[in-house]
Amino acid sequence: MNKKVLSYLEKHASQQKGKRFLITGSTSGIGYECAKDLLYLGGEVTFMVRNEEKAKECIHTIENELGHPISAHIVIYDQADPNSIRECIRSLPDTPYDAIVLNAGIYNPKKNSLGKEGNSITLQVNAIGTQTCFEEFYKRFPSSKYVIIDSIVNSSPKKGDYSPYFHRHKEGKPYKDKRNNDYAISKRICMNIFANALESGTKVYMAHPGIAKTNIINAFAPVIKRLGNGFLYLFAHHAWKAALGMCLLCCNDYEKGTYLVPRGPFEIAGYPKPRSMPKRAYKYASNWSSFWENESK
Ligand SMILES: NC(=O)c1ccc[n+]([C@@H]2O[C@H](COP(=O)([O-])OP(=O)(O)OC[C@H]3O[C@@H](n4cnc5c(N)ncnc54)[C@H](OP(=O)(O)O)[C@@H]3O)[C@@H](O)[C@H]2O)c1
Q: What's the rounded mean pLDDT across residues 5-9?
A: 96
pLDDT at 238 over 80: yes
pLDDT at 201 over 60: yes
Percentage of residues of the chain with pLDDT beyond 90: 78
CB-ligand 1 contact for 50 (6 Å cutoff): yes
Residue type, 285: A
CB-ligand 1 contact for 296 (6 Å cutoff): no
Nearest to 8 by CA among 185, 229, 213, 237: 237
Rounded CA-CA distance 31/98 in Å is 16
- Least confident span in 17-26, 138-147, 263-272: 263-272
Q: What's the rounded mean pLDDT across residues 65-93?
A: 97
At residue 215, the pLDDT reads: 76
Query: Which atom number of ligand 1 is nearest to the Cα of residue 183?
Result: 47
Query: Which atom number of ligand 1 is nearest to the Cα of residue 153?
Result: 6
CB 37 within 8 A of CB 5: yes
Give the residue ranges of DSSP H helices in the chain: 3-12, 29-40, 52-66, 82-90, 121-122, 130-140, 179-199, 222-235, 239-242, 244-251, 285-295
At residue 233, the pLDDT reads: 65
At residue 118, the pLDDT reads: 83
At residue 123, the pLDDT reads: 95
Question: What is the CATH classification number for the domain harbouring 9?
Answer: 3.40.50.720
Q: What's the rounded mean pLDDT across residues 199-210?
A: 96
At residue 227, the pLDDT reads: 61
At residue 217, the pLDDT reads: 57
CB 49 within 8 A of CB 39: no
Q: What's the rounded mean pLDDT across residues 76-100?
A: 97
Nearest to 37 by CA among 257, 167, 222, 207: 207
pLDDT at 220 over 80: no
pTM of the complete model beyond 0.75: yes
Distance (angstroms) between ligand 1 centre and the Cα of 138 equals 22
CB-ligand 1 contact for 232 (6 Å cutoff): no
CA-CA distances (angstroms) from residue 20 to 1, 39, 42, 44, 45? 21, 10, 10, 5, 6
Domain that holds residue 211: 3-295
Distance (angstroms) between ligand 1 centre and the Cα of 173 equals 30
Tens digits of per-residue pLDDT, 99-156?
Answer: 999 999 998 888 888 887 789 999 999 999 999 999 999 999 999 999 999 998 889 9
At residue 109, the pLDDT reads: 87
pLDDT at 223 over 80: no
CA-CA distances (angstroms) from residue 15 to 36, 192, 239, 248, 262? 13, 32, 22, 11, 23
Domain count, the chain: 1
At residue 296, the pLDDT reads: 86
pLDDT at 175 over 80: no
Q: What's the rounded mean pLDDT across residues 78-106?
A: 97
What is residue 260's three-state secondary structure?
A: strand
What is the phi/psi pair of residue 13, to 5°? -125, 150
Q: What's the rounded mean pLDDT across residues 246-271?
A: 95
Q: What's the rounded mean pLDDT across residues 237-253?
A: 95
